[in-house]
């Protein structure tokens, strides 16, 4: 079973709390993107990022000075978004850390696919960015993200279903990523793969509606829950009951697990 999540815009450098255990698998491709970013003018970079001057100046300087192999922070602690705060990987025990290293993959417009303890540097480059020289980033990465995140280097699904479930040979992907990132995987799914999107929402006028902040909080808690319970099968997901959410079987399907926030 493989779990996919999105990165966060805000990042930090922390070389003391946890040590990286490796480098990103697509470092050569990332180097290409660095060179492309360095050729942009400040105005072009700011337009690409769609941010204020303070953020643009910081990130423009980062790309000019970045070294992809020095002063590295493990990806799972480098990202500061709400999802990562609620995951709280810095206080994981050994078992939880080993679990996410095996099962969790972070999708990135800059790095492609990251294992939790791959060493990274701060950057700003969202998957939906329109990269002129590199082309659209979805085209730049193509099927590489699916093959690495889901299938592994040799094309065999390390996240394949367990024998006792007697399912077809295929991968089980638990989708906790935003649509911007999950589409990098969905486009290349094979018929034998199981792709389960987890939705956290509230009922309003008979429809399930997600609220961004609450959904991000729940995604982080879900990763923590799966790590703490050492979940190996999708059925385990349904037992999640944190932050007031409960599994809504009547609204769920094989492809979407819906969790509703309970009143009170």
Least trusted range by pLDDT, from 120-124, 197-201, 207-211: 207-211
How far is residue 119 CA from its own chain's centroid?
15
Is it the case that residue 162 has pLDDT exceeding 50? no
Bridge pairing between strands 194-204 and 207-209: antiparallel
Q: Per-residue confidence at 131, pLDDT binned at 50, 70, 90? A: low
What are the boundaries of each domain within the chain?
2-261
* pLDDT on residue 41: 92
Give pLDDT tens digits for 233-245. Answer: 999 999 999 999 9
- Which residues make Cβ contacts (< 8 Å) with residue 212, sequence separation at least 6? none
Nearest alpha-carbon partner for 262 in 219, 196, 200 = 200
Give pLDDT tens digits for 38-72. Answer: 999 999 999 888 889 999 999 999 999 999 999 99
Contact assessment for residue 179 and residue 8, using Cβ atoms and an 8 Å cutoff: no
CA distance 90 to 121: 17
Contact assessment for residue 248 and residue 259, using Cβ atoms and an 8 Å cutoff: yes
State the average pLDDT over residues 90-96: 95
Beta strands in 93-146 (DSSP E): 104-108, 112-114, 119-120, 130-131, 135-136
User: Across-strand partners of 106?
Assistant: 5, 114
- The mean pLDDT of the chain is 89
Identify the residue with better confidence: 189 or 162. Answer: 189
Under DSSP, the state recorded for 160 is B
State the average pLDDT over residues 152-169: 44
CA distance 216 to 222: 10
* pLDDT on residue 159: 46
- 203's enclosing H/E stretch is strand 194-204
Q: Per-residue confidence at 15, pLDDT binned at 50, 70, 90? A: confident
């Amino acid at each position: 079973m493989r779990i996919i999540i999105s990165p966060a815009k805000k990042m930090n450098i922390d070389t003391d709390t946890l040590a990286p255990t490796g480098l990103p698998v697509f470092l050569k491709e990332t180097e290409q993107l660095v060179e492309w970013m360095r050729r942009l003018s400040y105005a072009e970079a700011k337009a690409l990022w769609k941010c204020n001057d303070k953020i643009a100046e910081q990130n423009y300087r980062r790309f000019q000075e970045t070294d992809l192999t020095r002063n590295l922070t493990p990806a799972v602690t480098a990202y500061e978004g709400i999802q990562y705060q609620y995951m709280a990987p810095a206080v994981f025990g050994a078992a939880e850390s080993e679990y996410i290293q095996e099962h969790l993959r972070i999708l990135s417009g800059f790095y492609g696919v990251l294992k939790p303890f791959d060493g990274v540097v701060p950057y700003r480059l969202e998957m939906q960015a329109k990269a002129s020289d590199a082309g659209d980033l979805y085209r730049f990465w193509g099927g590489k993200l699916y093959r690495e995140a889901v299938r592994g280097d040799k094309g065999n699904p390390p996240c394949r279903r367990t024998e006792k479930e007697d399912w077809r040979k295929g991968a089980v992907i638990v989708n906790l990523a935003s649509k911007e990132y999950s589409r990098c995987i969905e486009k290349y799914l094979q018929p034998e793969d199981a792709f389960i999107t987890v939705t956290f929402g509230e009922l309003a006028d008979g429809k399930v509606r997600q609220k961004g902040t609450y959904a991000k909080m729940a995604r982080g808690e879900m990763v923590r829950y799966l790590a703490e319970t050492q979940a190996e099968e999708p059925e385990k997901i349904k037992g999640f009951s944190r932050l007031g959410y409960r599994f809504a079987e009547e609204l769920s399907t094989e492809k979407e697990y819906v969790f509703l926030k309970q009143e009170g």
